[in-house]
Structures are given as C-alpha cells and as structure tokens.
Amino acid sequence: MELDILNPSFVTIVLLSTVIVAFGLMLVLFRNRLSKTKLFVNELQIRLDDTLTKLDQKQKQSFQMGSNSNAGNMHQIIGEFAMLDEYDELITLSTTSKAPSLDMMGIKNDKIDFIEFKKKGAGLSTKEKNIRRIIENKNVEYVVKEIEIPSGVTVQTKELPPIRTKPVRKEEGK
C-alpha cells in the first residue's frame, strides 16, 4: 500500500490532527494559566483579609484610646474638684502634649506637690516615671523668664506678581 500525501482525505486528516494537537496544547496552556491565576487571586484574597483584620484591630485600638482619654479627662476633673479644700493654691498645668506628664501643682504651707491624676489601679507612663525620678532626686529649680512685648505691630499688603494666564485661542472662522 502506497501512501499518497497529496490525497485530499490524507491532507484533511493531517490538518485535523494538527488542529486537534494545537487545540490540546492551547487547552493545557490555558489550564496552567488558569491555575496560576487562581493561586494569585487566592493570595490576594488572603492579603486583603489580613489587611481588613489589621484595620479592624486598629479601629478598635483607636476607639479604646479615645475612651481611655475621655475617662482620664473625667478622672482629672473630679480629682481637681476634690482637691480644692486640700491646698491653699492649685495650679492647673497647660500643655500642647497629647499625654502630659503632670496635671497640677498644689501648694500648701511650705510645700509644693506635683500632681498626676490616674484612674485607680493605673500605672505611670515612662514620661511620668521620669518626672517622678527628677522630682525625687531634687533636680528642680525655680526659673523666671522675662518677656518683652514689642511696642508695635506692622501689617502691610504684599504685592503679588500677576498670574500667568493661557492665551485665549481665537475660534476658526471668526
């Protein structure tokens, strides 16, 4: 039996076989790509879940910090009122710090107390421990700062350069 490669049915079989093999290769490549894509999507989902969990924890922590701050302010106000009879003079300390290391100074007779209000059972922060150490080591001085207020204030209008504007384009036909 002689093989006639120019026979139309043989050419059709070869072409169909080639198409089937190519389709099979494409299917394998597509399946491999799909598998990698699924792994990538799963990894992204894990990262997203982890990020959402961390965000939820930070929100809870932030809410707790706000609650602690409000409770601290309430304890300080109650403490200040309770001490009005205990001292001859109470000095409320003002600060730009979010968590100041001292709340008040109380003066009675020949003694100054540095006062920090804390909720019962709460410990001292690192900054508060440092203030306590400074006071107990008697590293305290009485300092007077002189301030000279300027005699006058000058307010002038500043000359500004003109703003550059884009040239207006003329419409065609006008």
Tell me whether residue 28 is in a domain: yes
Note whether 49 and 68 are same-domain residues.
yes
What pLDDT score does 129 carry?
Answer: 93
E strand or H helix at 91, and its extent? strand 89-92
Same domain for 53 and 114? no
- In order along its 174 residues, the chain shows pLDDT tens digits of 566 667 777 778 888 889 899 988 998 888 888 888 888 888 888 888 888 888 888 877 766 655 555 555 666 666 666 677 788 888 888 777 776 778 888 899 999 999 887 777 888 889 899 999 999 999 999 888 888 887 888 888 989 888 887 777 766 655
Q: Indicate whether 37 belongs to any domain.
A: yes
Same domain? For 77 and 13 the reply is yes
pLDDT confidence of residue 72 = 56
Number of domains making up the chain = 2
160 in a structural domain = no
Residues 25 and 74 in one domain: yes
Output the CA torsion 125→130→132→136 (10° steps). Answer: 160
For residue 34, which amino acid is it? L
HSE of 101, CA atoms in CB hemisphere, 13 A: 11
Same domain flag for 73 and 90 = no
Residues 13, 75, single domain; the answer is: yes
For residue 139, the model assigns a pLDDT of 93
Q: Are residues 76 and 15 in the same domain?
A: yes
Do residues 15 and 57 share a domain? yes
Chain centre distance of CA 147: 38
Q: Residue 78 has what pLDDT?
A: 67
Q: Where are the alpha helices (DSSP H) in the chain?
A: 8-82, 126-136
For residues 95 and 79, what is the distance between their CA atoms, to the nearest angstrom? 18
The pLDDT value given to residue 135: 93
Q: How many residues does the chain have?
A: 174
Q: Please tell me whether residue 159 adopts helix, strand or coil conformation.
A: coil
pLDDT of residue 52: 85
Indicate whether 90 and 76 sit together in one domain.
no
Q: Residue 52 belongs to what domain range?
A: 7-82
Q: Please indicate, yes or no, whether residues 16 and 67 belong to a single structural domain of this protein.
A: yes
Q: How far is CA 75 from CA 38, 63, 119, 141, in A?
A: 55, 18, 6, 29
Q: How far separated are the first and last CA of the chain, in Å rounded? A: 87
